[in-house]
Amino acid sequence: MKIPQLGKFNMLDARRRSSLVGRLQREMRYSTAYARIAKATLPMPGKPRHTNLADAFEARVDATPERLAVLTTTDQHASWTFAEWDQEANRYANWALANGLQAGDRVAVMLTNRPEFLFAVFGFAKVGVVSALINYNLTGNPLIHSLTLADAKLVLVGDDTLPNLETVLAEVETPIWSVDGSAPGLDVINDITEGLSEASPERPGADHRSGLTEHDVAVYIYTSGTTGNPKAVEITHSRMTRLAGVFAAIAPLQEDDRMYVVLPLYHTAGLLCGVGASWISGATIVLRPKFSRSEFWDDCREYGITVFQYIGELCRYLVTAEPQDNDKAHSIRYIVGNGLRPDVWPKFVERFGIEEIYEFYGATEGNIGLWNLDGHIGAMGWIPTATRPLFPIKVVEYDLETEDVVRDASTGRCIECPPGKAGELIGKIPSSKNHPMAIQRYSDPEATEKKILRNAFSDGDAWFRSGDLAKIDKEGYFYFVDRAGDTFRWKGENVSTAEVAEVIGIQGGVLESTVYGVEVPGGDGRAGMALIVIDQEFDLTDFASAMAEHLPTYARPKFLRHAAEVEVTGTFKHRKVDLVTQGFDPGLVEDQMFVFDPATESYIELDASTYQRVIDGSIRL
């Protein structure tokens, strides 16, 4: 065996030596973090193995019963210890049993960021009841679709989510229960509070979930996918506990930390990254109903926040707020999230003095997990050499015209992108569903199959299609480029163009439409734009009202373009490539255009002057 000679290392020029040292340091840091993840999430000798969410949660309660678990910024700063959280969850579990719910039944939970959300979801899990987490921003057909997919025995709402449910109340036959009591004038709303107060706070027998395995569904989380209405992703018990462990281990999160959660709990990020990491590590969850730029830092100071979870848009909002003398007066030791833009990242660090930023990449149903642990600006993550065989992730060539991967003409195999070239991000699916790279299934098998790329590099192989365009640099860092296909992100939400186009298409005077995302300077993601073909019956004011009624704020088209026809490809698909390139620039577009002005809540004509107001931020989309 030859022993490396230090003299040869010293003979390397300074640049190469620095690069080698940096590489070794990066390998050490990432390998250490991955070891923490393995210790936290994989079976170990002498370590209890919990096969379901309820067992894992009760183990945490028993370990630290008197520790502060949940604190709210509302309701006079109400708080609960882990033991009290457990008791409230037990009430929901025992109430469910008293009302005939059984393991495997589903409940549609349509609640905001409030303690009752946590009590209900964890309580139902204690008796094997599955929670379908409904996006409370939805109205109309998307909401009906989500409730239909849930196939629930009941719907759980609060006073703050009931107005959206009222838009489809006539079509909902499922019993509706409110955590805020009866609703005046709505006899169909049942009061759950009395039943909960009478329900026992003692744990129901574990026999009610004795048949559950780690592969059974714990909750359904909805995602818009690449086309159509929201899809229900089956999140298993092992997925719930494993991802909670991953997010807790990566930094790691400690018992005396306080995690500030302002992102919606119906999302994977809010529920698993924010809440999940906290309860599994014994840290405190500080819940706020929704993000407030003006009160964010005041909350952090008042509640002693040490960690918060972000999406890129949240950080951009904070950076663009008016500077304050106490911007660095906080106790934040690190933040964790995804989508932090490279132009916002350094400004955020400099202004608020937070240097520990853990950017990650993942998908609710996917098997691709990437972490940026060394603050490499703009990167989604990097994988240590030793673990790359365990997490096979590739970027393959993708054709925006055909909206599909490119295959080699002679071999029929996918083509891996060289460094710097954007393509679709894919992750290999193992044969075992116990493997960390296994994917979560949609409730619709056909929808699941669309997310699988088969025979990509060899006969019989299968890869998860992320639907995201990404690239890798020469050092192995991954970077997000854009959403592929018919989905774009705006305000931290995935927007399905098909869903928006469906709503537009039924409006009076609209003959045809196509929807796509366009870049807005200073914006995070792409804003919705619709090219519409109209007749004389079209009314712009009525159109704006319809968008507000039927679509969540983030999904409403910010720009309209009137055209004589919608250009299609040879296979009759709408041709969007040129539309996206032209965007909303009057210098590139001859068609008449409009932009939604929040100040007047109406569409106004988009000419050169208005265009400039959008560019400089005078019109805030």
Taking only the tens place, the pLDDT of each residue in 99-111 is: 999 999 999 999 9
From residue 255, give the alpha-carbon distance in Å to each of 69, 275, 282, 454.
Answer: 10, 13, 5, 44
The amino acid at 152: A
Among the listed ranges 11-15, 264-268, 284-288, which one has the minimum average pLDDT value?
11-15
Give residue 1's pLDDT: 40
Main-chain dihedrals φ then ψ at residue 530, nearest 5 degrees = -125, 125
Q: What is the pLDDT of residues 493-551, one digit of tens each?
A: 878 787 788 789 889 999 888 899 998 988 878 899 999 999 999 999 999 999 999 89
Banded pLDDT at 224 (limits 50, 70, 90):
low
Bigger pLDDT: 228 or 417?
A: 417
Collapsing DSSP states into helix, strand and coil, what is residue 510?
strand
User: In the beta sheet, which residues pair with residue 146?
Assistant: none
Mean pLDDT value across the chain: 89
Kind of pairing, strands 462-472 and 423-428?
A: antiparallel
Q: What is the pLDDT of residue 363?
A: 81
Task: Give residue 575's pLDDT.
Answer: 73
In this structure, the number of other CB atoms found within 10 A of the CB of residue 11 comes to: 10
Give the CA diameter of the chain. Answer: 85
Lowest mean pLDDT among 112-126, 136-150, 151-165, 217-231: 217-231
pLDDT higher than threshold 60 for residue 572: no
Q: Residues 328-357: what's their mean pLDDT?
A: 93
pTM to 2 decimal places: 0.81
- Among 192-206, 419-433, 521-535, 575-589, the range of highest mean pLDDT: 192-206
Band (pLDDT 50/70/90 cuts) for residue 227 is very low
Compute how many other C-beta atoms are within 10 angstroms of the C-beta atom of residue 556.
21
Walk me through the domains of the chain, giving residue ranges and CATH numbers. Answer: 53-290 (3.40.50.980), 387-483 (2.30.38.10), 487-615 (3.30.300.30)
Contacts (Cβ under 8 Å, ≥6 apart) of 123 = 88, 89, 90, 91, 92, 93, 95, 96
Check whether 597 has a pLDDT greater than 90.
yes
Residue with tokens 């951009």: 316
Q: Which residues pair with 337 in a beta bridge?
A: 310, 359
Position 568 confidence tier, pLDDT thresholds 50, 70, 90: low
d(CA 238, CA 50): 9
What integer pLDDT is reported at residue 501 of this predicted model?
86
- 404-447 pLDDT, tens per residue? 999 999 999 999 999 999 899 999 998 766 665 666 666 778 87
Q: For 98, which DSSP code? A: H
378 neighbors 481 (Cβ within 8 angstroms):
no
- pLDDT in the model for residue 437: 61
The two three-digit tokens of residue 140, written as one number? 């109309």
**Higher pLDDT among residues 108 and 618, named by residue:** 108
**Residue 571 confidence (pLDDT):** 39
pLDDT at 386 over 50: yes
Q: Which of 38-47, 111-120, 548-557 has the lowest mean pLDDT?
A: 38-47
Concatenated DSSP letters of 148-204: HHHT-SEEEE-TTTHHHHHTTGGG--S-EEETT--BTTBTTEEE-HHHHHHS--SPP
- Has residue 254 got a pLDDT over 70? yes
Q: Name which of 39-43, 278-282, 362-366, 547-551 the model is least confident about.
A: 39-43
Counting DSSP H helices and E strands in the chain, the numbers are: 19, 29
